[in-house]
């Protein structure tokens, strides 16, 4: 959601900014814009894809210079239009600004600035910030930004430049993500590392309420200074980015989503690496080791997240109750944060998030931390806000996820939550043998997944039969109920097919009325404790004319007399089955979207990382 790129250095800024915007396209956006300074400030904004901006710029002279900003906007305040797109500017002082986040007190600030004679041309909260910085500008851009941000309530990651200080770029953050890449006599600033890694692997992050002034002198030498909003100097920690350019390139795949589905076995091997010892029934999780005692003694776990991460969190709840025998519950972060929840002593909150930046998840986490809970993060992006704000955590290690529909992050989250639960279970009462057996199975998940991926063509052919249907049901029970929810979400997100996921038994309490001739119902019907019950539910659908697609366990021939089509997964113990049963559903959604002619990696209206409420 909203992508920021900024450049200051010795090279032409425009191509670097456009390439950066393309790398950030996956975050989701509806318009784009760029500003450069070469003597004078030039701004260009367009509605639609970055390619539209690129085409427009090709026809325009200018836009040279080695300092600039660029932005992809995901509309929050005001319609999708050129005038609402970023950068926003104040022509009087030649100031341009890009912003990710929301300024909550923008209406009051706008009123104040109007009284001062400022004229607004957009409906955005961002333009207010550009004008406020301009109003406070007195020859020092860094000071103007600090002073302006002291007046602001809300969330922001911003980059600002000024025609009068052509060797200065000022960036700041509170709540929204921002990374500064430090290269050889250049800086590349971006919302995430994917727009930086091609240029440098040395980066630093700002903490909330911090500002960085990036400068280039007449000789082209660069320096930076970081400070608080009150101008107290701070020293950021420069770190090495842990991923390579190939990880964010398509390679031989047609879509990032398909690439990421297919690389799950390799990624999950990374998730497991060095963390499990089957022989000793031991799990080593360095990120939570310091808090092992508190985890063992915890009275209650609260798991939270949004979207796919919420479904993974549900499985975490099942693991904790079933394997570690400790009370656990899952809640949407957007509800939890405002619900005034009771937090009993020795509560642990687990925030599950791919990006580590989801605004609701972050806010729920803060709320429960305030109420005394120990906080754990199950996060993919290293250095993200959630990973920085939690007391402890376990990274997924599945590499950057570019596909908007989350796949490898889901299986990574489920695997980590299974490991955390086994870590606690083993320290509470689970025997070494039982733990060893489960860890053995967990370690074999990657190779078992490879067998499922080989069925991709078969799944595509089955998909062809049903892809014109507009309503689908996804049904599962027990550990595979969250998988049914996830299967339905995947189909909705990228195929725009209406799909509902639910517990298989719940169907007869209403949704069964929807079933008509030929309606596809996907059942997760692997051999588990509720297998017979699921068969009953399948009968109920078939007898009403529904078409049944079943995800079943290899060797189950009987299912063929119940289901129209079957996708097989290798046998595995029930708790770990979601790691396998979800894979055919990911493939199904991806094939359905391609067959319906949709852009799988840029689904309409969706953002990869939702940094606003
Ligand atoms: C958005 C994405 C989903 C994701 C959810 C939570 O809705 O489109 O794919 O599951 O946010 O994101 P997070 O980064 O917190 O896992």
Tens-digit pLDDT profile for residues 131-149: 999 999 999 999 999 999 9
Residue 517 pLDDT > 90, yes or no?
no
pLDDT at 605: 82
Give per-residue pLDDT as tens, 386-418.
Answer: 999 999 999 999 999 999 999 999 999 999 999
Active-site residue numbers? Answer: 2, 608
Residue with tokens 């929807």: 514
> Which residues have a Cβ under 8 Å from the Cβ of 143 and sit 6 or more positions away?
136, 231
Query: 221, 241, 261 — which closes off a domain?
Result: 241
> Is there a domain that residue 175 lies in?
yes
Question: Does 171 lie in the same domain as 88?
Answer: yes
On average, the pLDDT of the chain sits at 95
pLDDT at 508: 83
pLDDT at 278: 83
Cβ(359) – ligand 1 distance below 6 Å:
no
Cβ(408) – ligand 1 distance below 6 Å:
no
* Percent with pLDDT over 90 in the chain: 89
- State both tokens at 291: 């808090």
pLDDT at 562: 92
Between 383 and 217, name the one with better pLDDT. Answer: 217
Residue 77 pLDDT > 90, yes or no?
no
Give the residue-averaged pLDDT of 228-243. Answer: 94
Cβ(361) – ligand 1 distance below 6 Å:
yes
Question: Does 584 lie in the same domain as 562?
Answer: yes
- State both tokens at 236: 């950021």
Question: Does 196 lie in the same domain as 72?
Answer: yes
Structural domain including 325 reads 250-453
With contact defined as beta carbons under 8 Å apart, do 121 and 68 qualify? no
Question: Does 403 lie in the same domain as 319?
Answer: yes
Instruction: Report the distance separating Cα 395 and Cα 274, nearest Å.
Output: 13
- In order of 173, 211, 558, 573, the CA distances from 545 in angstroms are 56, 62, 20, 32
- Domain containing residue 155: CATH number: 3.60.20.10
Question: Does 409 lie in the same domain as 294?
Answer: yes
Give the residue-averaged pLDDT of 3-24. Answer: 97
> Is there a domain that residue 610 lies in?
no
Confidence band for 465, pLDDT divided at 50, 70 and 90: very high
Q: Which atom of ligand 1 is nearest to the CA of 306?
A: 6
Instruction: Report the distance separating Cα 514 and Cα 531, nearest Å.
Output: 24
Cβ(600) – ligand 1 distance below 6 Å:
no
Cβ(404) – ligand 1 distance below 6 Å:
yes
Q: Which atom of ligand 1 is nearest to the CA of 28?
A: 8
Q: Which atom of ligand 1 is nearest to the CA of 358?
A: 15
> Is there a domain that residue 39 lies in?
yes
Residue from 218, 251, 253, 224 nearest 236 by CA: 224
For a substitution probing ligand 1, which of 354, 377, 612 has the most ligand atoms within 8 Å of its CB? Answer: 354
Cβ(307) – ligand 1 distance below 6 Å:
yes
Residue 613 pLDDT > 80, yes or no?
no
pLDDT at 263: 97
Confidence band for 163, pLDDT divided at 50, 70 and 90: very high
- Domain containing residue 530: CATH number: 3.40.50.10490
pLDDT at 8: 98
Half-sphere exposure of 322 (CA within 13 A, CB side): 14
Confidence band for 516, pLDDT divided at 50, 70 and 90: confident
CA of 362 to the centre of ligand 1 (A): 12
For a substitution probing ligand 1, which of 384, 400, 610, 613 has the most ligand atoms within 8 Å of its CB? Answer: 610
Residue 280 pLDDT > 90, yes or no?
no
Query: 217, 241, 265 — which closes off a domain?
Result: 241
Question: Does 324 lie in the same domain as 231?
Answer: no
> Is there a domain that residue 605 lies in?
no
pLDDT at 244: 81
Query: 192, 219, 241 — which closes off a domain?
Result: 241
Question: Does 524 lie in the same domain as 382?
Answer: no
Query: Which of 67-71, 180-184, 470-474, 507-511 is the least confident region?
Result: 507-511
CA of 441 to the centre of ligand 1 (A): 28
> Is there a domain that residue 590 lies in?
yes
Question: Does 235 lie in the same domain as 256?
Answer: no
Confidence band for 612, pLDDT divided at 50, 70 and 90: confident
Specify burial of residue 510 (Cβ count, 10 A radius: 0-12, 13-18, 19+): exposed
Cβ(385) – ligand 1 distance below 6 Å:
no
Total number of domains in the chain: 3
CA of 182 to the centre of ligand 1 (A): 29
Give per-residue pLDDT as tens, 172-192.
Answer: 999 889 999 999 999 999 999
Residue with tokens 């852009």: 599
> Is there a domain that residue 613 lies in?
no
Residue from 358, 361, 360 nearest 608 by CA: 358
CA of 174 to the centre of ligand 1 (A): 20
Give the residue-averaged pLDDT of 150-173. Answer: 96
pLDDT at 512: 82
Give the residue-averaged pLDDT of 540-556. Answer: 94
Question: Does 493 lie in the same domain as 356?
Answer: no
Cβ(332) – ligand 1 distance below 6 Å:
no
> Is there a domain that residue 608 lies in?
no
> Is there a domain that residue 612 lies in?
no
Question: Does 309 lie in the same domain as 185?
Answer: no
Residue 1 pLDDT > 80, yes or no?
no
- State both tokens at 493: 């997100």
Residue 420 pLDDT > 90, yes or no?
yes
Question: Does 495 lie in the same domain as 404?
Answer: no
Q: Which atom of ligand 1 is nearest to the CA of 606?
A: 8
Question: Does 418 lie in the same domain as 482?
Answer: no
């Amino acid at each position: 959601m909203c992508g920021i790129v900024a450049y200051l250095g010795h090279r032409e800024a425009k191509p670097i900014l456009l390439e950066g915007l393309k790398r950030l396209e996956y975050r989701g956006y509806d318009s784009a814009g760029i500003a450069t300074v070469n003597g004078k400030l030039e701004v260009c904004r367009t509605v639609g894809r970055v390619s539209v901006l690129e085409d427009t710029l090709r026809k325009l002279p200018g836009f040279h210079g080695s300092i600039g900003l660029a932005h992809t906007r995901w509309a929050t305040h005001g319609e999708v239009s050129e005038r609402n797109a970023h950068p926003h500017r104040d022509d009087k002082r030649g100031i341009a600004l890009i912003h990710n986040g929301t300024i909550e007190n923008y209406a009051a600030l706008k009123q104040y600035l109007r009284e001062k004679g400022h004229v607004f041309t957009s409906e955005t909260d961002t333009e207010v910030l550009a004008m406020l910085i301009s109003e406070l500008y007195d020859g020092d851009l860094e000071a103007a930004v600090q002073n302006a941000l002291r007046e602001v309530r809300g969330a922001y990651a911003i980059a600002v430049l000024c025609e009068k200080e052509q060797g200065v770029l000022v960036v700041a953050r509170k709540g929204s993500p921002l990374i500064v890449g430090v290269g050889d006599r250049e800086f590349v600033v971006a919302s995430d590392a994917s727009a930086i890694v091609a240029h440098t692997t040395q980066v630093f992050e700002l903490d909330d309420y911090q500002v960085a002034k990036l400068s280039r002198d007449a000789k082209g030498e660069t320096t930076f200074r970081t400070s608080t909003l009150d101008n107290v100097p701070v020293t950021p920690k420069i770190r090495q980015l842990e991923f390579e350019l190939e990880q964010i390139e398509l390679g031989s795949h047609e879509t990032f989503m398909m690439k990421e589905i297919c690389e799950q076995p390799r990624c999950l091997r990374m998730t497991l690496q060095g963390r499990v010892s089957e022989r000793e029934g031991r799990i080593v999780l360095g990120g939570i080791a310091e808090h092992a005692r508190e985890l063992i003694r915890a009275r209650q776990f609260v798991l939270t997240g949004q979207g796919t991460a919420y479904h993974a969190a549900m499985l975490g709840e099942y693991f904790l109750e079933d394997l570690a025998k400790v009370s656990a519950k899952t809640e949407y972060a957007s509800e939890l944060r405002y619900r005034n929840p009771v937090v009993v002593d020795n509560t642990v909150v687990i925030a599950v998030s791919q990006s580590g930046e989801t605004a609701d998840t972050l806010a729920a986490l803060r709320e429960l931390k305030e109420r005394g809970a120990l906080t754990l993060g199950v996060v993919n992006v290293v250095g993200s806000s959630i990973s920085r704000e939690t007391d402890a955590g376990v990274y997924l290690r599945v590499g950057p996820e570019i596909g908007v529909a989350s796949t490898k992050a889901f299986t990574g989250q489920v695997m980590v939550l299974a490991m955390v639960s086994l870590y606690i279970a083993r320290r509470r009462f689970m025997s070494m043998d039982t733990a060893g057996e489960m860890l053995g199975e967990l370690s074999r998940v990657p190779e078992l997944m490879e067998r499922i991926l080989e069925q991709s063509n078969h799944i595509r052919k089955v998909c062809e039969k049903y892809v014109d249907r507009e309503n689908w049901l996804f049904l599962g029970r027990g550990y595979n109920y969250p998988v049914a929810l996830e299967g339905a979400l995947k189909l909705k997100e990228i195929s725009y097919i209406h799909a509902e996921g639910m517990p298989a038994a719940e169907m007869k309490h209403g949704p069964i009325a929807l079933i008509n001739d030929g309606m596809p119902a996907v059942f997760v019907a692997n051999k588990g404790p509720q297998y017979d019950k699921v068969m009953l539910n399948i009968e109920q659908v078939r007898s009403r004319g529904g078409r049944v697609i079943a995800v079943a366990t290899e060797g189950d021939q009987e299912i063929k007399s119940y289901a129209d089509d079957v996708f097989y997964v290798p046998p595995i113990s029930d708790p770990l089955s979601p790691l396998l049963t979800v894979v055919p559903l990911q493939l199904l959604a991806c094939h359905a979207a391609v067959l319906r002619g949709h852009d799988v990696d840029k689904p309409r209206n969706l953002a990869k990382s939702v940094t606003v409420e």
